[in-house]
Structure 1
Amino acid sequence: MFHNLQSTDLKSEIRNSKSEIPSPLTFEPIFMERIWGGRRLESEFGKTLPAQKLIGESWEIVDRPEAQSIVRNGPLRGKTLHELWTQHRHDVFGDIPDAPRFPLLLKLLDAHQKLSLQVHPPETAAKGLGGEPKTEFWYVAAAEPGAELYLGFRESITRDQLENALRDGTAADHVHKIRVRAGDAVFLPAGRLHALGAGNLLIEIQQNSDTTYRVFDWNRVDDQGKQRQLHIDRALQCIDFNDVRPRLLLPEGELLLHHKLFEIQKWHLDSPRELAPCGQFAITCCLTASIHCAGVDLKPGEFFLIPAQLQDRRLHPQAERTTLLRVTIPGRGD
C-alpha cells in the first residue's frame, strides 16, 4: 500500500513547513448522486444537500485526483487535503508511513435502495487489472427494521458455479445475508463479495481507492432506461470464493478493528478526554450528542481531524453520554 515515493528534498520541505494550528480541522463535504441514494443525510445528520437529488455518498475526508477535501476553518482554510499532505505533513499528520496521497477515504453512505453486488480488488489483482486495492470498514449509524448486509457466500462455491448463477439470475441466492441494527460494524477485506442493503445509513472508512467491480445490479435501470455497467470478468478475478458466512465485528473493549491500514475505536464519553497524544493525528466522527474541542463543535455525522501538533486536544462531551468513532493509522512499528 505505502511506497517511499518522496525525494529527500520534499521530505525536508514537509518537515520544515511549520505552522501554528490552533484547532481541529473540518472539511467541506462532497456529495455524490447515486441511483440508490436518498435524502437521509439531510434528515438524520442535517447535511445541506443539493435540491431534488438522490445523494448516496458524502465524501467527508478525501485526497483523490478527482475529489479534494477543502479545509473550512482556521489559518489553513481553503487548503486541500493533498496540500496538507504534501506541504504540512509533520504538523498535521506526524510521523506516519509515506504514501503519494493521504491513504484513507472517509464517507457517509445512505442506501435508500440496495447497492450492487460488488467486489473490490486485492493488491495483487489490482495491479494486473489496472485498478486500486480497496479494503473497507462499515459502521451502521442507523438502520431501518429488517435492513441487511450482503457479505460473502452462504456456502462454499466455485468460480464456475457463480458464473452459472450469474447467467441464470440466481447469484444473490448464494450470498450470505446478515440483519443489522445501529451500532453494528463489519470489516470488508478486498476480495469479499458484498452489497449494502436498503435502509442502511453507514460510516465507511476505507483505503484511498475508487475501484469497484459490479457483479449484479438487481436488473434496475437509470432515469434513461439504461442498466449500469457490470464488470463480471474482472470481478471473478478478485472474489474470494472461500469467504463463507463472515460475521460482524465483535468489539474488544473500545477497539472495533486494528488493521495495518487503519485502527478504529468507539468511545463513549462522559468527561473530557484527549483524543490522541501530541505528535499523533486522529480523526473523529461524532455519532451521538456533540463534542467540543479547541473552539470547534462537532455534531452527529460530522468529522474533524486532530492535527499531530495541536496543543489543545481534549474532547469535551456536550451531553452525559457522547459517542464517537476514533480513526488512526498505525505507526511504522505497529
Structure 2
Amino acid sequence: MITVSPLYPLKFHPILKPKVWGGKKLAKLFKKNAVGNIGESWEISGVNENVSEILNGPLKEKSLNWLLENYKEKLVGEKVYKDFGNQFPLLFKFIDAREDLSVQVHPDDILAKKRHNSFGKTEMWYILDVEKNGKLILGFNERMDQKKYLKALSENKITKVLNSETVQNGYVFIIKPGTVHAIGAGILLAEIQQTSDVTYRIYDWDRPDTNGQMRELHTDLALEAIDFTPAKTKLEYSEEINKPTHIGTTDFFSVNKLVLSESFVRDLNEIPSFTVYMCLEGAAIIETDDFSEEIKKGETILIPAQLPEIKFTTNSASFLEVYIP
C-alpha cells in the first residue's frame, strides 16, 4: 500500500444536476455555482459515473473511490467496510423542486439486486424551505390494490388516488422502497439515501424533459415494486439545543439533528462509522487536533471513522448528523 496522508474532515465538489423541474434556490440560498434550472446537488456520491471528488486539504481532487481503496475501514469504519467494501453506501443530496417531480417508486434491495445489480433505495427527507401550499405525494388516499391501481392508471385518474400532504420547514419523512411518492413544487429539501439511482416513473404530469421529449414511464417495472400497504412516513421529534436530537433510523442509516448556539465538542467514539454533517443554517469551523475547515449553510462534510472527536466553533449553526449504526 502506498503512503497516504492522515485523514481529516473532507468536503467534496457538489455534482449539480439540471432538471426540467429544477429551480434557482441552490444558487440563491446555498451559493452553489449553479447556472440554469438545477434540481439536485449531489453532495457525496459513490454512484457509478457520479463519484465525488475532494474539494479541500491535502487529498484535494482525489475521488471517493480512491479514498475507499486506500483508507478502507479508517474512512468508513470496520463494520461498514466489511459489509460494503469499496462501495460507499450512502448518497447525500439537496433537492430544489420548482415544479412537481414525477410520481415514482423505488425497488427494495432484493428487487434492485435482481434487476439492476444495485442497492435498493430507502430515503429520508428533511424539509428546508416550503413555498405556500407546498405538498408531498406519499402513498394513496384510499385502500389500494394492484387491480384498482392499474384501473386508475389506465383511465388517467392516478392523481385522484394519490395522498397529498402539506409540509412545513423541519418536517422529516422516511420513504421506504415501495412507497409511491413525489416532491411537490416549491419545496427545498435535504435527502439521505442508499447509494442507488434506480427510479421507476409512474406518472410525469404529461411534461416534456429538457430535451423536449416525453420521459419514459416504467409501468411494468413499477408494478412489482409498489407496496400497497399504508405506511406512516412522517417522523416526530423534539428538538434540543447544543446536543444531538435523534430524528430517525432506517435499516441503512441513522440521523440526528444538531442545533448549536455555542461551540461544541462532539465525541464520535460511540459512532462505529463515518459521520456526515449537512449544514442547514449558519456556519461553523470544524476542528480536529491538526486540521480545521469551515462549513456553511448548504454545504456537507464527511468526518472519517478514525477521528475520535471534532469541535464545532460557532454561535449559530444547525446540521443533520448522519451515520451507520
Return the TM-score normalized by structure 1: 0.88
Q: Which of the residues 308, 322, 327 maps onto 2:322?
A: 327
Q: Which of the residues 268, 271, 274 maps onto 1:281?
A: 274
Q: Which of the residues 181, 196, 214 maps onto 2:183?
A: 196
Q: Which amino acid aligns with 2:311?
A: R
- Give the whole-Å Cα distance in 2 for the aligned partners of 1:125 and 1:301: 33
In structure 1, what is the equivalent of residue 99 of structure 2?
113
Deviation, structure 1 residue 323: 1.2
CA pair 118-28 structure 1, distance change in 2 beyond 3 A: same
Q: Find out whether 1:68 has 2:65 as its counterpart.
A: no
- Give the whole-Å Cα distance in 2 for the aligned partners of 1:203 and 1:32: 15
CA pair 46-160 structure 1, distance change in 2 beyond 3 A: same
- Give the whole-Å Cα distance in 2 for the aligned partners of 1:224 and 1:200: 24
**Does the 8 Å CA contact 2:13/2:52 hold for their aligned counterparts?**
yes
CA pair 314-155 structure 1, distance change in 2 beyond 3 A: same
Name the structure where strand makes up a greater proportion of residues: 2
Deviation, structure 1 residue 160: 1.2
Identity score, percent: 36
Q: Which of the residues 220, 227, 234 maps onto 2:221?
A: 234
Q: Which amino acid aligns with 1:268?
A: V
Q: Deviations over 1:205-256 (max 9, x none)?
A: 0000000000000111135542110000010100001125x34111265111
Q: Deviations over 1:263-306 (max 9, x none)?
A: 10011112322334247521101111111112211111100111
Q: Find out whether 1:92 has 2:89 as its counterpart.
A: no
Q: RMSD of aligned C-alpha atoms?
A: 1.9
In structure 1, what is the equivalent of residue 24 of structure 2?
39
Q: Which of the residues 48, 51, 55 maps onto 2:33?
A: 48
In structure 2, what is the equivalent of residue 82 of structure 1?
65
In structure 2, what is the equivalent of residue 4 of structure 1?
none
- Name whichever of 187-196 and 292-301 sits farther off: 292-301
Deviation, structure 1 residue 38: 1.0
In structure 2, what is the equivalent of residue 313 of structure 1?
310
- Give the whole-Å Cα distance in 2 for the aligned partners of 1:276 and 1:241: 42
- Give the whole-Å Cα distance in 2 for the aligned partners of 1:147 and 1:201: 10
**Does the 8 Å CA contact 1:256/1:264 hold for their aligned counterparts?**
yes
Q: Find out whether 1:174 has 2:169 as its counterpart.
A: no
Q: What secondary structure does 1:233 align onto?
A: helix
Q: Deviations over 1:163-204 (max 9, x none)?
A: 111111111111111111111110001110000000000100
Deviation, structure 1 residue 314: 1.1
- Name whichever of 186-195 and 63-72 sits farther off: 63-72
Q: Find out whether 1:25 has 2:10 as its counterpart.
A: yes
In structure 2, what is the equivalent of residue 251 of structure 1?
237
- Give the whole-Å Cα distance in 1 for the aligned partners of 2:117 and 2:173: 23
- Give the whole-Å Cα distance in 2 for the aligned partners of 1:163 and 1:262: 34
CA pair 315-125 structure 1, distance change in 2 beyond 3 A: same
In structure 2, what is the equivalent of residue 5 of structure 1?
none
**Does the 8 Å CA contact 2:106/2:178 hold for their aligned counterparts?**
yes
Number of matched pairs: 310
Q: Find out whether 1:270 has 2:270 as its counterpart.
A: no
- Name whichever of 234-243 and 301-310 sits farther off: 301-310
Q: Which amino acid aligns with 2:259?
A: H
Deviation, structure 1 residue 158: 1.1
- Name whichever of 86-95 and 28-37 sits farther off: 86-95
Q: What secondary structure does 1:296 align onto?
A: strand
In structure 1, what is the equivalent of residue 299 of structure 2?
302
CA pair 293-87 structure 1, distance change in 2 beyond 3 A: same
- Give the whole-Å Cα distance in 2 for the aligned partners of 1:224 and 1:71: 31
**Does the 8 Å CA contact 1:293/1:314 hold for their aligned counterparts?**
yes
Q: Which of the residues 127, 141, 147 maps onto 1:140?
A: 127
**Does the 8 Å CA contact 1:18/1:91 hold for their aligned counterparts?**
no
Deviation, structure 1 residue 262: 0.5
**Does the 8 Å CA contact 1:275/1:282 hold for their aligned counterparts?**
no
Return the TM-score normalized by structure 2: 0.90
Structure 1 runs not aligned, ≥5 long = 1-12
Deviation, structure 1 residue 64: 1.9
CA pair 69-276 structure 1, distance change in 2 beyond 3 A: farther
Q: Which amino acid aligns with 2:26?
A: L
Deviation, structure 1 residue 27: 0.5
